[in-house]
Amino acid sequence: MNEAMENPVGHVLDARYQVTRKIAEGGMATVYEATDVRLGRTVAIKIMHTQLAQGPHRDQFVQRFQREARSAAAIANPHIVQIYDTGEFEGLDYLVMEYVHGVNLRYEMSQQGVFTVRETLRIVGEVLDGLSAAHAVGVVHRDIKPENILLNDRGRVQITDFGLAKAASQATLATTGMLLGTAAYLAPEMIENNQALPQGDLYSVGIMAWEMLTGEVPFASDNPVTMVFKHVHEDIPPLTANRPSMPKAISDFVAHLTARQVAERPTDAAAALRELHALTTTLSPSELAYRIRGNGETATSVLPSDMASTTDSGMGEVPTQASPDETETQIVDATAADGETMTHQARQGNLRRIAIVSGAALLLAAMIGGGYAWWYFLGPGSYWTVPSADDVSCETEQNCSLKGADFTKYERALKVAGIPYTTTEQYSDDVAKGSVISSDPANVGDHVSKRNGTTMTIVVSKGVREATIPDDITDASSDNGKTPLATLQQLGFDNVTHDKERDQYSLDVPEGALLSIDPQPGTTLRHGDPITVTLSKGPMPVSMPNIVGESKEDALSSLNDAKLKVTTSEMYSDTVESGTVISASVKAGTQMHWGDAVNIVVSKGPEMVTIPDVRGKSESEAKQTLEALGLKVEITAPLGDLTQTVRLQDPAPGQQVRLRDTKGNATTVTLTVV
């Protein structure tokens, strides 16, 4: 290994990426900070470890690495670390990614210990939002864990390590060393069958939520074999099992994500996110503020009355202690003159007054400066307050979201308040077009920081998603018609019924193409409206019938019944009767399909010949004529052959005879010569 491969810091990759420092090292790759000298931006570069790139599975690993990298790059979601580029450095593949300023969730968990329900749901929701974008394009992360969840400077989630985890698991999952880092979060089907499913990512998210709420994973063991055995053979215990004060709705949601059977979990991250949103609206403020203490009870409590006398800053009132100089008795010399005594006292009094006034002025200035600093950096001067929407009403003491507010009207309120904002659009089944689906911050009265360029983000509804069934979806030769189910899914239809039991064989329609669809092509529907399809199973499999020895008519009938394409030819046969099948191009009993081609040969019977008249011809001429027809000639000369002229022949002239007998021997003509 050369120096550049061992330590790329200071090297420039592909004449573009100046590696500046090492950030972290994992089991599969090392991450470096670098500068994209072409665009002048900071990026993160992940370089694959040598043992993976040069191991026995190199080709397979690199191919999957690159393919998954392309898939991750195609995902557009603010909660996923973006892939900018890929390349190769000294034989090692690398990824160029977005550089995230912040920490990972593991660090945050080590700092906080446990999280409130509100904060847990926020982080889990953003993770699910990112995963839903990945699942929508067929990418499964496979390695969701706190180390791969980054929290940027604003506390927002960004998921990293897309693609590499899947490639690495394919190449090296069998090694125990590769399981150590992720065994606590692996789904049972991943461990048992190496299945990469969207539900596996949800299982890992559920384990992560379990850990955030309790401070520990449900199955903890130093032995990864023991840990994975528990995931495969035991159910994750519900959060309420040992923590009865845990909100039951939260326990049920986490249990749904971590169900041992794949079919019992949500279908994908989008479904789980919808479930989370519905759950959040049912929780009370006290349930959202719930946090586990060491003894399993909530840490949220009410202060006793004797502690209520606190200042606005949260600091309790503390009595001051007199200094020794102020409490110690001062003795004055009694022999001093009265004038000197009075002058000294006056001078001391003036100095004391000056000191008091100066101290008061300094204290006042400090209080004013400190108050302004608090107001500017921590108080109302440091944030905007999210205004309410006139067309949204909320119950008292409940979180009031902006969902359903007319954005055109609400936008005016934002402009009046001077709050910077950005908008995105999404389809929604329950929020009218032009109304707010969600916002960040989420609730009226929440704060938008005036620091670091923070903006409020608002998701505006595009209404219910609609699409039109393509006109050419029944044309099996079109792109839409070749894969009709995938076409409907890509268009957003999510209520397509395909009953395989109703599919039919077809001679003309290829397997997998449409036989029927309801509603008809060209119909515009909501994405959730029902669509029923029947697909072709392609040509039906049939067995080649035994037709050799049958009459031509019977053979054609059998082949037509099997819907086979037949061509016929004829030939003479000395052994097979005319009109009977001599042979077929496909052996009887062979597996075929409707429309397959078969050639059959039908007998014309024995070949016949008309005996010519060779009487009066010379022996040689007659013999040549008959042999040219394929006949055998026999010469007899009972009276001698003085003239060598044919006088008699048998068979007689004009008679039709077989050219050959049943054994294939030529027919004999006897000539009598005199």
pLDDT higher at 5 or 321: 5
Domains and CATH numbers, the chain: 3-98 (3.30.200.20), 102-288 (1.10.510.10), 382-389+400-461 (3.30.10.20), 466-535 (3.30.10.20), 541-603 (3.30.10.20), 608-673 (3.30.10.20)
Asked if pLDDT for residue 180 goes beyond 60, the answer is no
List of residues 6+ apart from 429 with CB closer than 8 A: 464, 528
Q: Which residue has the higher pLDDT, 194 or 409?
A: 409
Residue 192 or residue 581, greater confidence: 581
pLDDT in the model for residue 321: 30
> pLDDT band at 638, cuts 50/70/90?
confident
- What pLDDT shows up at residue 145? 94
Highest mean pLDDT among 74-83, 84-93, 398-407, 624-633 belongs to 624-633
Query: What are the DSSP calls for 295-309, one per residue?
Result: TSSB---PPPGGG--
Which pLDDT band, with edges at 50, 70 and 90, does 191 fall under?
A: confident
What mean pLDDT is predicted for residues 229-238? Answer: 90
If pLDDT is split at 50, 70 and 90, which confidence band does 60 have? low
Residue 201 — pLDDT band, cuts 50, 70, 90? very high
pLDDT tens for residues 571-624? Answer: 999 899 999 999 999 999 999 999 999 999 999 999 999 999 999 999 999 999
Using alpha carbons, select from 105, 127, 99, 102 the residue that is nearest to residue 31. Answer: 99
Report for 29-43, 154-168, 176-190: range of highest mean pLDDT: 29-43
pLDDT of residue 457: 94
CA dihedral 360, 364, 369, 372 (to 10 degrees): 160
Average pLDDT for the chain: 82
User: Which pLDDT belongs to residue 340?
Assistant: 36
- Coil, strand or helix: which one is 204? helix
Both tokens assigned to 615: 């009487």
Q: What token pair was written down for 309? A: 């006398």
Average pLDDT over residues 621-645: 89
Q: Could you identify the residue written with the tokens 């009598």?
A: 672
Query: Would the CA dihedral through 6, 10, 15, 17 be positive or negative?
Result: positive
Q: What is the DSSP letter of 37?
A: T
DSSP class of 144: -
**Percent above pLDDT 70 for the chain:** 79
pLDDT band at 3 (very low <50, low <70, confident <90, very high): low
Least reliable range by pLDDT among 24-33, 312-321, 341-350, 466-475:
312-321
pLDDT band at 237 (very low <50, low <70, confident <90, very high): very high
Average pLDDT over residues 178-186: 63
Identify the pLDDT of residue 302: 32
| Position 4 confidence tier, pLDDT thresholds 50, 70, 90 | low
Q: Is the pLDDT of residue 54 over 70?
A: no
Of 592, 665, 673, 597, the C-alpha closest to 635 is 673
- DSSP codes joined into one string, 584-610: ESS-TT-EEETT-EEEEEEE--S-EEE
Residues β-bridged to residue 35: 18, 42
The answer to whether the beta carbons of residues 65 and 164 sit under 8 Å apart is: yes
Output the pTM of the full model: 0.45
Residues forming the active site? 143
Per residue, the 3-state secondary structure of 453-506, as one string, reads CCCEEEEEECCCCEEECCHHHHCCCCHHHHCHHHHHHHCCCCCEEECHHHCECC
Residue 5 near residue 92, CB atoms below 8 Å: yes
The Cα 500–Cα 597 span in angstroms is: 28
Q: Is residue 307 predicted with pLDDT exceeding 90?
A: no
